[in-house]
Structure 1
Amino acid sequence: MFHPAFSRFPPCGSHYFPTSFRTIHTAMITATNIGLSYGKRVIFKEVNIKFTPGNCYGLIGANGAGKSTFLKILSGEIDPQQGQVSIDPGKRLTVLRQDQFAFDEHTVINTVIMGHKKLYEVMAERDKIYAKTEFTEADGMRSGELEVLFGEMNGYESESEAAVLLNGVGIGEELRQKKMKELEGTDKVRVLLAQALFGNPDILLLDEPTNQLDIATITWLENFLSRFSNTVIIVSHDRHFLNQVCTHMADIDYSKIQVYVGNYDFWQQASQLQLRQKETENKKTKAKEQDLKDFIRRFSSNASKAKQATSRKKLLEKLTIEDMPMSSRKYPFIDFKPERPSGDIILEIENLSKTVDGVTMFKDFSLSVGKGDKIAFVGSNGLAKTTFFQILAGELEPDAGTVRWGVTISKAYFPKENNSYFKDTDMNIVTWLRQYAPPQETESFVRGFLGRMLFSGEEALKKVSVLSGGERVRCMLSRMMLSGANALILDEPTNHLDLESITSLNNALTAYPEAMLFSSHDHQLVSTVANRIIEFLPDRITDARMSFDDYLTTCCGLELEAA
């Protein structure tokens, strides 16, 4: 069933054409001939794009393609080396800020209102005048002017609007008068989201808005954006979220940006269809080129055919084979192959209990894992899930209870935090991974393995101490693949990965035939992989043998977090 946002889509049958073939309405924000390079590396070249009112654009591309950079260019934070960005006169643009410490000295409610800069300035000046002990005639005149401006910008409703937004993102009334520095990091993220949404901005730029949000807040945001009538541009690695809210996809590749009508799934089909069409056209052109060359070679010296040969030479000169530039979008090859099938007994847990810093994570928890179980552990308490996985992996001792793995089981663990695997070492990637490979395997085997994980050539010789978050995750997944394990434990494996790597991981986990226990923020991964859901709640633990979407619908409404 389509999300309400899709009611803005054109009729069926038109989803697979880039908007360059469609009528464009008046633009709210326009980028013209944008160019940006860092040294020899070209990020954007002659980018022309218009973002129109009433549409929600998902900005997608491989890691390093320039998604966040382009948002900064649109917002004015970064100046392009070429071209310009123009915004319709009188239109207000807001950005989801990433600096959690920028508003530490302000109250939560004021931080939200500061999302409308002009309104907040008027409010602050007005309050400053009213706070004076002596009120001059000039103050009276100015306060009257400010009251008019305040009313025109719906200032009298600002606190109630901010409160509604804060409630929507999960910030309770008890936190609204606290200073931002008193809040936890996850709560600060929510407040900054409310700040970006405040005051009905004409243009809304959101960079990874679902990070650290629970499923209830993400659903609230999806509904908010589906009703939002202005222009939205989003960068997100959450495929489910993009499918729910986006009416268009803006694909960054080949240093260009091409816009497609439809959500993320539509883009996948449209871009693949377009690529296949180009390949087919090139094949036909190459075949025709070869036929012409054969004719010319056979008959160019034949007097009776010379005229035809000359004619075909002219046709050959007019033939053009479209270049297929190298895409920045790359999919790692992820495949977990167990060395042997598991026996009937996978994992038995009895009366497991653990307390961390005086807080009970779980108590008297029992669990039996059977063949083919793919269990997603969900709930807002990420520490409880991580603690549980650490106990299963043997990295942490429980306070009480037993964990018994079957005698046929070999397990592989993907930790949420992997710093300990990479610090205090001067190894390159090849040397690092080889220590986890079977002893009989050669360096060329390890290099070939790394090549499939996008560490080819010199990339494989990078020091592991300088790897990015996404590169470390690919290393950890490589380590797991080499283990040949028949039971997997994965704690937030999609963190730091781009959409292409998440898609590859999703496919690999779906195909894995043995038992798996995992957690993930990625809704689509959980819904397509898990056949059993276990939720850690404050007062109980639920266990349901069903898909994630069925669990959301039938068991808990929107109380849980896919994390």
Structure 2
Amino acid sequence: MITIINLAMQYGPKLLFLDVNLNLNTGNRYGLVGANGAGKSTFFKIITKEEEPSGGTINIVKNSRIGCLKQDQFLFENTSVINSVIAGRKELWQALQEKEKLLALDICDEETGYRLGELEQIIYDNDGYTAEIFAADLLVGLGIKEEYHYQPLGCLSGGYKLRVLLAQSLFNNPDILLLDEPTNHLDIISIYWLENYLKQKFKGVLVFISHDMMFLNNVATSILDIDYGEIRQYTGNYNKFIIEKQLISEQKLNEANYLEKKIAGMQMFVDKFRAGTRSRQAQSREKQIEKIELPDIQKSSRISPYFHFKQKRPSGKLVLKVEQIAKNYAEQKVLSKVNFTIQREDKVIIIGPNGIGKSTLLKIILGKIAVDIGSYEWGYEAQISYFAQDHHELLNENISVIDWLSKQVEDKLINSLRNVLGQVLFRQDEANKNILNLSGGEGARLLLAKIILEEGNILVLDEPTNHLDIEAKETLKKALVNYPGTLILVTHDRDFASHIASRVIALTNKGIVDFKGTYQEYLIRYGNDYLDSNWVLANK
């Protein structure tokens, strides 16, 4: 389906990849992985012909339909949700729009009638009369209720708009499907639905970028790894890829060490007997040394950020007291009679079914949403740092990274800001990048830089891993484990929950469960695994 021959991509002196040769075949699902900036999104743009490669060619079977998840929801702000999905099949969408315009003109001449007939055929050929049913099935599967299907896309939040765009990319039944971080903003049920849809119903070539290890393991049949200036294919899921890549690296290193020792021994012989009776043997070994080729061990492009959270001073022993908090949106009850206290150095994860009010609870205790009933009180010397799930709300100024950070933490010297930005991988000129142009991962790392500099004694984090790559997730997890202050964390990441939590607060429709212990101990005691899709589906 896609044949890639000697592909190369370079921006100035920066080489992304060189001499890439791949065959991407129908029925296979390729997980594309690599460090931030390695060239994953660029690879997509080359396939869709949005960018020209520096060298080589990509051959795609003629008349293949390409579906691509794009972040251009603003094009459809005033279009109904269901029509935004149907717009994914361009020929059908254009025919439906033209038909609507012609009918609105109320002209009954021969030319208009002939054109309406042509449009009807196009609509029929593109399954136009069942389009709304298929679009609705996609939307429901991705967690968008039917009551929103005929409302403008603009009425949805950013996360739900991206779900609509995901449905749009699936609607066209493409031969080639390119998905960039498709699980961002999906709840666990929608992720499970998408996994099954891609494995059971999609029959074309799938190439997807994801930092979700569980999704990579469940969906990928092969991994395309961008590293060392190449794109190498590994058969199997992400776990198998990690083992195989590590094995190859170790074999290359062992081979290099063996050959270096061999060369050193031969060189000692040459140096010792170069001018003596054994000079001919020395010359022979010198020629042998020249013929030995050491394996090419390049430096990996994967770079991990460095997160280290300190506190200026500890908080009081009692950190937070929540009493009888309740919150309704219109007639929908979100929170009811929520009570708990949090002590200094607690590491609390808040879990529960989708829509139960986890993010709402965080916003209430931070004073961002008014409570209907009840109260909360922070303890002595509480210094709070907050990571919002939709962090683009904070990064909406026309301002550089360094200037934005300077406004957030005004008491810090410019050198301190640059040092921390370097730690989270904003190097040199990247500190001058406009924050409006930041990727999701860059935005998340910038907010974490702010939190590092604030040195608060309480971290309130709402889904901090959504946009982070695998390397960043791993270093953030270790930093939170080692953080000496108090942590309140909402996460859907089982790995985070399992390694970090010393306490679990589960929000349920019957009240809260406040368990003082690890996530594994909570599961043994209660068995309510809100981070496992099979359990969630079985208990809907």
Give the direction of change, closer, same or farther, for the CA distance of 1:282–1:362 in structure 2 (3 Å limit): same
Asked if 1:77 is matched to 2:67, the reply is no
* CA 346–146 in structure 1, closer or farther in 2 if over 3 Å, else same: closer
| Equivalent residue letter for 1:505 | L
Give the Cα separation in 2 of the matches to 1:290 and 1:83. Answer: 40
Superposed CA offset, 1:304-356 (max 9, x none): x2222122111100112233323221113445578999998665433346789
**2:518 matched to which residue of 1?**
none
- Structure 1 residues 100 and 308 mapped into 2: Cα distance closer, same or farther (>3 Å)? same
| Corresponding residue of 2:341 | 368
Answering whether residue 226 of structure 2 is matched by residue 252 of structure 1, we say yes
Match of 2:366 in 1: 390
Per mean C-alpha deviation after superposition, the further-off stretch among 352-361 and 256-265 is 352-361
Alignment of 1:134 with 2:104, yes or no, is no
Verify the 8 A CA contact 2:188 2:533 in the aligned structure 1.
Answer: no
Matched with 2:11 is 38
For 2:148, the aligned partner's letter is L
In 2, are the aligned partners of 1:347 and 1:368 still within 8 Å (CA)? yes
Shift of 1:253: 1.8
Give 1:559 shift: 10
> How far is 1:468 from its partner?
4.9
Match of 2:530 among 551, 554, 561: 551
Q: Which moved more, 1:495-504 or 1:364-373?
A: 364-373
Task: Give, in whole Å, the separation in 1 of the partners of 2:86 and 2:396.
Answer: 41
- Does the 8 A contact of 1:377 with 1:517 survive in 2? no
1:18-167 mapped onto 2 (5 Å cutoff):
28-124=1-97, 133-134=107-108, 136=110, 139=113, 143=117, 150-167=123-140
Query: d(CA) in 1 for partners of 2:410 and 2:254?
Result: 42
Residue by residue over 1:456-501, the C-alpha shift from the partner in whole angstroms, topping out at 9 and shown as x without a partner, is 7x579x4698695756654654665688877543233335433211
Distance 1:147 1:59 in 2: 40
Does structure 2 conserve the Cα–Cα contact (< 8 Å) formed by 1:372 and 1:513?
no
| SS of equivalent residue, structure 1 residue 32 | strand
Determine which of 340, 344, 349 is the counterpart of 2:322.
Answer: 349
- Distance in structure 2 (CA, Å) of the matches to 1:118 and 1:511: 55
Say whether residues 1:401 and 2:372 are aligned partners: no
C-alpha distance in structure 2 between counterparts of 1:552 and 1:353, whole Å: 24
1:196 equivalent among 161, 164, 169: 169
CA-CA distance at 1:277 after TM superposition: 1.7
Distance of 1:292 and 1:434 partners within structure 2: 62
Q: Which residue of 2 aligns with 1:505?
A: 476
**Normalising by structure 1, what TM-score?**
0.76
Counterparts of 2:51 and 2:234, CA distance in 1: 25
CA distance in 1, matches of 2:501, 2:204: 37
**Partner SS for 2:293:** coil
Cα 1:524–1:55 change in 2 (3 A) is farther
Q: Which residue of 2 aligns with 1:15?
A: none
Kindly indicate whether the alpha-carbon contact (under 8 Å) linking 2:351 and 2:530 is maintained by their aligned counterparts in 1: no
Structure 2 vs 1, CA of residues 432 and 209 (structure 1 numbering), >3 Å: closer, same or farther? closer
For 1:68 and 1:549, the matched residues in 2 are separated by: 38
Paired positions, count: 519
Distance 2:186 2:65 in 1: 26
Would you say the 8 A contact 2:405–2:417 is kept in 1?
no
Q: In the aligned structure 1, how far is the partner of 2:119 from the partner of 2:426? A: 60
**Distance in structure 2 (CA, Å) of the matches to 1:230 and 1:374:** 43
Aligned position for 1:298: 272
For the Cα contact (< 8 Å) 1:338–1:484, is it kept in 2?
yes
Q: Summarize deviations over 1:402-439 as a string: whole Å, max 9, x none.
A: 4354x7x97663432566999899779899989579xx
**Which digits, 9 at most, give the CA deviation of each residue in 1:187-240, with x for residues without a partner?**
322221111111422111111212222222122111111212221111122222
Aligned equivalents of 2:472 and 2:375: distance in 1? Answer: 37
Residue 175 (str. 1) matches residue 148 (str. 2)? yes
Q: Which residue does 1:520 correspond to in 2?
A: 491
C-alpha RMSD of the superposition: 4.4
Secondary structure of 1:196's aligned partner: helix
CA contact 1:348–1:404 (8 Å) conserved in 2: yes
- Following the alignment from structure 2 to structure 1, what is the Cα–Cα distance between the partners of residues 128 and 404? 58
Task: Please tell me the residue identity of whatever aligns with 1:415.
Answer: F
* Residue matched to 2:296: 323
Secondary structure, aligned partner of 1:94: strand
Instruction: Measure the CA separation in 2 of the matches of 1:291 and 1:455.
Output: 45
Q: Secondary structure, in 3 states, of the residue corresponding to 2:163? A: helix
- Mean Cα deviation higher: 176-185 or 351-360: 351-360
Q: Which amino acid aligns with 1:376?
A: I
Separation in structure 2 between the aligned mates of residue 424 and residue 532 of structure 1, nearest angstrom: 39
Report whether the alignment pairs 1:491 with 2:462.
yes
Q: Residue deviations 1:26-48, cap 9 Å, x none?
A: xx122322233322222333322
2:406 & 2:346 partners in 1: Cα distance? 33
Which residue number corresponds to residue 158 of structure 2?
185
Which residue type is aligned with residue 550 of structure 1? D
Structure 1 distance, partners of 2:315, 2:172, is 57
Structure 1 Cα separation of the partners of residues 329 and 119 of structure 2: 53
- Per the TM alignment, residue 270 of structure 1 is displaced from its structure 2 partner at its CA by 2.2
Q: 1:434 to 1:452 in 2, by over 3 A?
A: farther
CA contact (8 A) 1:31 1:74 kept: no
Secondary structure of the residue aligned to 2:211 is coil
Q: Secondary structure at the match of 2:530?
A: helix
**Whole-angstrom distance in 2 between the partners of 1:463 and 1:214:** 34
Amino acid at match of 1:299: F
* Unmatched runs of 5 consecutive residues or more in structure 1: 1-27, 438-442
Distance 2:371 2:338 in 1: 11
Q: Aligned pair 1:279/2:250, yes or no?
A: no
Give the Å deviation of 1:110.
Answer: 2.5
CA distance 1:357–1:37, change in 2 (3 Å): farther
Inter-partner Cα distance in structure 2 for 1:446 and 1:178? 44
Mapped contact 2:34–2:302 kept (Cα < 8 A)? yes
Q: Structure 1 residues 468 and 433, CA, compared in 2 at 3 Å: closer, same or farther?
A: farther
Task: Call closer, same or farther: CA 1:97–1:447 in 2, change over 3 Å.
Answer: closer
CA contact (8 A) 1:100 1:189 kept: yes
Distance in structure 2 (CA, Å) of the matches to 1:175 and 1:397: 26
* Residues 77 and 390 of structure 1: CA distance in aligned 2, closer, same or farther (over 3 Å): same
Residues 396 and 87 (structure 1), Cα distance of their counterparts in 2 relative to 1, 3 Å cut: closer
Question: 2:385 maps to which residue?
Answer: 413
Q: How does 1:441-460 map to 2 (within 5 A)?
A: 453-454=424-425, 458=428
Q: 1:190 to 1:250 in 2, by over 3 A?
A: same
TM-score (norm 2): 0.79
Q: Closer, same or farther in 2 for the Cα pair 1:290/1:533, shift >3 Å?
A: same
Measure how far apart 1:555 and its partner are: 11
Uncovered stretches (5+) of structure 2, i.e. residues with no partner: 516-521
Give the superposition deviation at 1:296.
0.5
